Amino acid sequence: MNERGLLIVLSGPSGVGKGTVRQALFAQEDTKFEYSISVTTRKPREGERDGVDYFFKTREEFEEMIENNKLLEWAEYVGNYYGTPVDYVEKTLQEGKDVFLEIEVQGALQVRKAFPEGLFIFLAPPSLAELKNRIVTRGTETEALIENRMKAAKEEIELMDAYDYVVENDSIELACEKIKAIVLAEHLRRDRVAPRYKKMLEVE
């Protein structure tokens, strides 16, 4: 039997560039994860294809999926539903392949509960670490604006608590490299590797 695959969850605050990083990752030939295509009730954007970018559904169809426990997680985001089909995730992990989810933060928290053994990567805005520095040195922002920005940044940092790794999206290429390195390292963890060795040495 195959060793179970890893469930990789890429998430982070709205507007951080999750979709762009995910697309860049999957455009690379050596990417070995399987992308889990989400279900959504939002209308397709130009160029988006059903079954490739999303499975586009009506609200009724989506709600039926919720009722029938067909979703690993779901969330309402800017007036539309988004969710991850559970059957695909289970089947693919069972086949020993890594599954990659790119979802917003509410959904990621639900996955964390259902799959605590998953690999949770937080994509952080590039400006976060530097934020205060920049705001203070620039000196052009009003007090209220600085406070608002700092508040938003603090909330984002608090969201990180539910994740295993933080990748700053300072450059798309670097972010992709970091994500691949994290996945590789996760595969090499002793608790994943040791059982394989022990099995190998089992005497018939």
- Report the interface residues with ligand 5GP, using CB under 6 A: 14, 18-19, 38, 42, 73, 75, 77, 82-84, 102-104, 106-107
Chain residue whose CB lies nearest ligand 5GP: 107
Closest by CA to 120, choosing from 183, 76, 175, 74, is 183
Of 84 and 169, which CB lies nearer to ligand 5GP in the complex structure? 84
How far is the C-alpha of 52 from the C-alpha of 136, rounded, in Å? Answer: 44
Q: Where are the beta strands (DSSP E) in 6-118?
A: 7-11, 34-35, 39-40, 55-56, 71-77, 80-85, 99-102
Q: How far is the CB of 42 from ligand 5GP (least distance, A)?
A: 5
Tell me: is residue 83 an annotated ligand-binding position: no
Q: Are 37 and 53 in contact (CB under 8 A)?
A: yes
Q: How far is the CB of 155 from ligand 5GP (least distance, A)?
A: 16
Q: Which amino acid appears at position 142 of this protein? A: T
Of 71 and 153, which CB lies nearer to ligand 5GP in the complex structure? 71
Q: Hey, what are 190's tokens?
A: 């002793």
Tell me: is residue 180 an annotated ligand-binding position: no
Tell me: is residue 14 an annotated ligand-binding position: yes
How far is the C-alpha of 99 from the C-alpha of 196, rounded, in Å? Answer: 21
Q: How far is the CB of 14 from ligand 5GP (least distance, A)?
A: 6
Of 135 and 163, which CB lies nearer to ligand 5GP in the complex structure? 163
Q: How far is the CB of 23 from ligand 5GP (least distance, A)?
A: 11
Tell me: is residue 18 an annotated ligand-binding position: yes
Closest by CA to 54, choosing from 65, 68, 63, 41, is 41
Tell me: is residue 13 an annotated ligand-binding position: yes
Of 81 and 135, which CB lies nearer to ligand 5GP in the complex structure? 81
Tell me: is residue 107 an annotated ligand-binding position: no
Q: How far is the CB of 185 from ligand 5GP (least distance, A)?
A: 24
Beta bridge partners of 137: none
Torsion of CA 192, 26, 44, 60, to 10 degrees: -10
Of 86 and 146, which CB lies nearer to ligand 5GP in the complex structure? 86
Q: Are 32 and 143 in contact (CB under 8 A)?
A: no
Residues flagged as binding site for ATP: 12-19
Residues flagged as binding site: 12-19
